Amino acid sequence: MTAAETTHEMVRIAAEAADAKGGEDLVALDVSEPLPLVDAFLVVTGRNERNVAAIADEVEERLLAAGHKRLRREGRQESRWVLLDFGDLVVHVFHEQERVFYGLERLWKDCPVITVDVAQPSTQA
């Protein structure tokens, strides 16, 4: 089983939102095989607590605007690791220290990577 096309679109929306707020080291993983209720994880790093919160808020806002329903949100108050559960997509926005400590990429290393194409802003000369 692989992640649905709608999940890939959700990943794209979330990745662009995270990138717009300075999210770094974006990694999307297809976790549909080991996790029957989730298709994908998007893992993002923020530089500090304010950045983590801003990234999480932007991702949530854009996915809601695209018509996706948030099932739960955890960690927003501390903003060291914010988890946004949109059913098929779970977004993990980490402070860089927490990302290294928890190492989700190591835990899910056998899962296929979903290519994250973030549209580059056009530059005007």
Per-residue HEC secondary structure of 31-87 comes to CCCCCCCCCEEEEEEECCHHHHHHHHHHHHHHHHHCCCCCCEEECCCCCCEEEEECC
* pLDDT for residue 59 is more than 50: yes
> Tens of pLDDT along 79-120?
999 999 999 999 999 999 999 999 999 999 999 999 988 765
Kindly state whether residue 119 falls inside one of the protein's structural domains. Answer: no
Kindly state whether residue 120 falls inside one of the protein's structural domains. Answer: no
For residue 101, the domain's CATH number is 3.30.460.10
Mean pLDDT (whole number) for 4-13: 93
* pLDDT for residue 122 is more than 60: no
Range of the domain at 76: 5-114
> Tens of pLDDT along 9-41?
999 999 999 999 999 999 999 999 998 889 999
* pLDDT for residue 43 is more than 80: yes
* pLDDT for residue 52 is more than 90: yes
- Give the pairing type, strands 40-46 and 89-95: parallel
Residue 125 confidence class, pLDDT cut points 50, 70, 90: very low
Kindly state whether residue 123 falls inside one of the protein's structural domains. Answer: no
Kindly state whether residue 82 falls inside one of the protein's structural domains. Answer: yes
Of 70, 19, 71, give the one whose Cα is nearest residue 45: 19
Query: What total number of domains does the chain contain?
Result: 1
Kindly state whether residue 125 falls inside one of the protein's structural domains. Answer: no
pLDDT at 119: 65
Kindly state whether residue 50 falls inside one of the protein's structural domains. Answer: yes
More confident residue, 46 or 118: 46
Kindly state whether residue 124 falls inside one of the protein's structural domains. Answer: no
Kindly state whether residue 12 falls inside one of the protein's structural domains. Answer: yes
